[in-house]
């Protein structure tokens, strides 16, 4: 199927009414939904998993963080593989690995098998299937309005998956078992595979395309060391320093290596040219911080409710309904807002609203025991994040021509998933290491998310007023 034969609605309303457009986007959006769901649904299972597998909160946190981290470190290499193997083939292979991981997690007898299934198999599967989602959407929808609609559906379902993860996971855990939540993921994967049978790849695969294995290893190990080092905070500060220094050194070596490879006329894992686009760089910072705030808030509030307030999985999940509704409302309005407001305005407003929500969670919750104290803050967090996820993705993807969509999609998803892993690692580590009677650890962890939110807001304010596609 050629790009010109694919639907390119003249407006968001026309796109929404197009049955063929829905057919194209639905499996992609569901794939983003289930991957985001996997990153947050375990938050409400912490107590159940800890008791069942005889582990600790730190053990479950490590499993969640490693899942997000494996996604982040492999996203760029896997995005390059889409050029060699084809986008649809990578998408289906990723779904297969993800499904195997979900089933392994469902029958896990201990933490080790859970990490193998959830962190490794699901993480690798996600890294393979997510880049094609955004590459295909970019290739199928060429004009700004229809692309904004497609990204709105995909990113919106991703945000809903992350926000609704605690609710759906809580209902399944309380009604059946935490293991059933992984069976649910496997069933969604089967549904996506069935819906994907009619998908066509607009660009042919190129098996002769070179692959930079050394660059892939340097980038993956470097990012892994950085996040793993953060996880050592409060438990082994010597290892923290060692891994942070090692990670920074490996990433520096990665940059020098790809630069030397380019100068030698060879194809590098990632073109250094992508870092010369100031608009893209700022948008990548906003993407990273958005997911850091979303996953950090989800983890901190979930652990606080279960470990400090003693709430059940379902009660914890129900509280997150406010965030889910917020993301749903703003995501559905994303295409309409994209026509009415500048993308910079949407991102700046999104950060402002999200920060306000976290401040409410920080200011109201510690002083009262009522569950309603969480609703205003989580609602604002959902509204803010849902309103800016789409424009941030659109700015990044639209900053480069089709020839670079493979690597920019991988970099974009890698940065977003790195933000997710950092949110769980940083805020979660603060919560666990500072854990104390009362609300001290909660306040410190949520305060750190406000600081990161201000960094994201600063990057958003530096974006140009008008952002034109490449």
Above 50 in pLDDT, residue 17? no
Above 90 in pLDDT, residue 108? yes
**3-state secondary structure string across 236-281:** CHHHHHHHHHHHHHHHHHHHHHHHHHHHCCCCCCCCHHHHHCHHHH
pLDDT band at 232 (very low <50, low <70, confident <90, very high): confident
Q: Residues near 212 by Cβ (< 8 Å), separated by ≥ 6?
A: 80, 258, 261, 266, 267, 268, 269
Domain chopping of the chain, boundaries:
19-200+269-461
pLDDT band at 3 (very low <50, low <70, confident <90, very high): very low
Lowest mean pLDDT among 86-95, 306-315, 456-465: 306-315
CA dihedral 401, 404, 409, 414 (to 10 degrees): -140
Tell me: the pLDDT tens digits for 411-467? Answer: 777 788 778 777 877 777 777 665 554 567 788 888 889 999 999 999 999 998 776
| Contact (CB, 8 A) for 108 and 53 | yes
Lowest mean pLDDT among 198-202, 300-304, 431-435, 451-455: 431-435
Tell me: the pLDDT tens digits for 248-278? Answer: 999 999 999 999 998 888 888 888 877 788 8
pLDDT band at 177 (very low <50, low <70, confident <90, very high): very high
Share of the chain above pLDDT 90, in %: 28
Q: At what angle do helices 19-40 and 87-106 cross, to 10 degrees?
A: 40
Place of tokens 């900053």: 399
Calpha distance 146→307 (Å, rounded): 45
Q: Residues near 21 by Cβ (< 8 Å), separated by ≥ 6?
A: 7, 9, 15, 146, 149, 150
Place of tokens 């050029």: 83
Span 19-200+269-461: which CATH code? 1.20.1250.20
Q: So what's the pLDDT on residue 125?
A: 95
Residue range 356-376: mean pLDDT, rounded:
84
Q: Of the candidates 306, 296, 330, which has an alpha carbon nearest to the alpha carbon of residue 418?
A: 296
CA dihedral 401, 404, 410, 416 (to 10 degrees): -40
């Amino acid at each position: 199927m050629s790009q010109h034969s694919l639907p390119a609605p003249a407006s968001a309303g026309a796109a929404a009414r197009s049955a063929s457009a829905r057919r194209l986007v639905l499996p992609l959006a569901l794939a983003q939904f289930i991957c985001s769901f996997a990153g947050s649904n375990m938050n409400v299972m912490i107590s159940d998993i800890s008791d069942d597998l005889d582990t600790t909160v730190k053990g479950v946190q490590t499993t969640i963080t490693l899942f997000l981290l494996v996604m982040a470190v492999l996203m760029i290499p896997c995005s390059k593989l889409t050029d060699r193997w084809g986008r649809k083939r990578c998408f289906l292979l990723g779904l297969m690995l993800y499904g195997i991981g979900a089933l392994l997690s469902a029958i896990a007898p201990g933490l080790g098998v859970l990490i193998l299934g959830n962190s490794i198999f699901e993480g690798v599967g996600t890294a393979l299937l997510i880049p094609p989602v955004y590459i295909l959407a970019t290739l199928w929808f060429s004009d700004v309005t229809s692309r904004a609609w497609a990204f709105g559906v995909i990113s919106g379902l991703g945000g809903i998956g992350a926000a609704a993860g605690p609710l759906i996971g809580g209902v399944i855990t309380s009604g059946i078992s935490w293991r059933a939540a992984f069976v649910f993921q496997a069933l969604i994967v089967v549904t996506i595979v069935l819906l994907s049978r009619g998908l066509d790849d607009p660009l042919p695969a190129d098996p002769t395309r070179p692959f930079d294995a050394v660059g892939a290893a340097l980038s993956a190990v470097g990012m892994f060391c950085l996040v793993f080092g953060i996880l050592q905070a409060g438990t082994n500060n010597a290892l923290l320093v060692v891994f942070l220094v090692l990670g920074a050194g490996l990433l520096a070596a990665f940059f020098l290596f790809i630069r030397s490879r380019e100068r030698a006329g060879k194809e590098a894992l990632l073109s250094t040219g992508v870092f010369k686009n100031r608009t893209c760089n700022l948008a990548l910072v906003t993407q990273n911080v958005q997911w850091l705030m979303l996953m950090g808030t989800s983890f901190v509030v979930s652990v606080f409710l279960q470990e400090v307030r003693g709430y059940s999985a379902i009660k914890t999940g129900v509280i997150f309904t406010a965030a889910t509704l917020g993301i749903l409302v703003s995501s559905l309005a994303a295409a309409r807002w994209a026509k009415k407001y500048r993308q910079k305005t949407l991102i700046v407003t999104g950060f402002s609203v999200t920060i306000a929500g976290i401040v409410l969670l920080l200011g109201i919750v510690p002083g009262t025991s009522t569950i309603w104290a969480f609703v205003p803050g989580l609602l604002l967090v959902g509204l803010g994040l849902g309103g800016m996820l789409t424009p941030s993705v659109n700015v990044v993807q639209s900053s480069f021509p089709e020839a670079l969509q493979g690597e920019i999609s991988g970099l974009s998803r890698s940065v977003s998933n790195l933000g997710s892993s950092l949110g769980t690692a940083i805020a979660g580590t603060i919560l666990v290491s500072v854990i104390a009677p009362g609300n001290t650890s909660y306040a410190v962890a949520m305060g750190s998310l406000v600081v990161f939110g201000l960094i994201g807001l600063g990057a958003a304010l530096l974006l140009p007023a008008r952002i034109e596609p490449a």
